Structure 1
């Protein structure tokens, strides 16, 4: 039986819900998130994106040439994103030259561990990470300033289309993957969902 990204979402509805619907995002929507919570997320997410960029570069190194355009487009967008994070941190007088919190470290270590996994597993994880942000920032609906800019970065139609292209690439890889590799891809999807939930909670806990 061939595994697909949509099958993963349908099979693990509750797990994925917990990854993409969180009080942190709800309170951004309500405008009640505390500055310490949001600033914690912003700094830690910058540190995460630095390592995520390395992961995407490693995926490019083993991807079929037909997938290059989409992945290279993603890397160009990550260049802009890292600079954007720096600008947002400067506006808030935040220091990005800081240590990762344990949750961020765990996520970054997991992304690094994917480098030894078969490409279908890495492609599935890549899609899941981007989908989590795409849906997480979209689902609450229109957000007030200053959070609208953040929601639009990952919830805009162009990013949504990019995530769909990543899904197509992952599905293509999964079609010819062995049952063992498909199982590993499912485990990667579940791990990403768990880490995403933990990351939101890490930032949310900054108020306590």
Structure 2
């Protein structure tokens, strides 16, 4: 079994935990309190700005075979995911420019930026976000919310293009040669940050 596949296997119970989180359940039903989603959008916007920085830090260290993939991941995050956030922010009245990081966002972004100081370890640390959201999207699209704004959010992470980017990230993990035990520890730590992030401040 490849390292990325092993990490995914370890992460599946934690995805199930996310699916049972009240915030995710509210998105799935399409009836999440708008104030909660507005706050989540503000926090995730700030998270994604740093996520682009994580990809950029890794790209600086990347072997030639991975450089284009990391540039593509940074581009997709900056242009596609952040565009969705700006669009939804307008519909939910979120104040993206005035937002300030809550404790969960600050802890998660600090963890990712620190982990990205080492190439293989940084890839393992960020994989919970890529793979986790792709997996959540695939699960939620099976019974999507009728509310169109929440449906748009689900559609973004269920998109085959997002799954393809996740697959490329998995391939980079397998080729990076990180210490498996260290990669496992960082991946699981990232998954715990993912769960904590749903606790909207």
**Fold conserved between structures, TM > 0.5:** yes
CA contact (8 A) 1:137 1:155 kept: yes
TM-score for both structures, normalised by structure 2: 0.88
5 Å-filtered alignment, 1:97-108, equals 97-108=98-109
Query: 2-side partners of 1:85 and 1:34: how far apart?
Result: 17
Task: Using CA pairs under 8 Å that are at least 6 residues apart, name the structure with larger relative contact order, 1 or 2.
Answer: 1
Shift of 1:40: 1.2
- Corresponding residue to 1:148 among 126, 135, 151: 151
User: Is there any run of 5+ residues in structure 2 with no aligned partner, and where?
Assistant: none
Return the alpha-carbon distance in structure 1 between the equivalents of residues 107 and 167 of structure 2.
Answer: 27
Q: How many residues align?
A: 196
Q: 1:18–1:193: 8 Å Cα contact kept in structure 2?
A: no
Aligned equivalent of 1:188: 186
Answering whether residue 85 of structure 2 is matched by residue 85 of structure 1, we say yes
What RMSD over aligned residues (CA atoms) do the two structures have, in Å?
Answer: 1.9
Deviation at 1:16, TM superposition (A): 4.3
- Distance in 2 (CA, whole Å) between partners of 1:129 and 1:18 is 15
Structure 1, 5-14 or 161-170: larger mean CA deviation: 5-14
Q: Say whether the 8 Å CA contact 2:47–2:109 is kept in structure 1.
A: yes
Q: 74-83 or 101-110: which moved more?
A: 74-83
TM-score normalised by the chain length of structure 1: 0.86
Structure 2 SS opposite 1:146: helix
Report the equivalent of 1:198: 196
Q: Which runs of 4+ in 1 moved over 4 A?
A: none
Match of 2:74 in 1: 75
> Per-residue displacement from partner, 1:100-126 (whole Å, max 9, x unpaired)?
11111111111121133x311112223
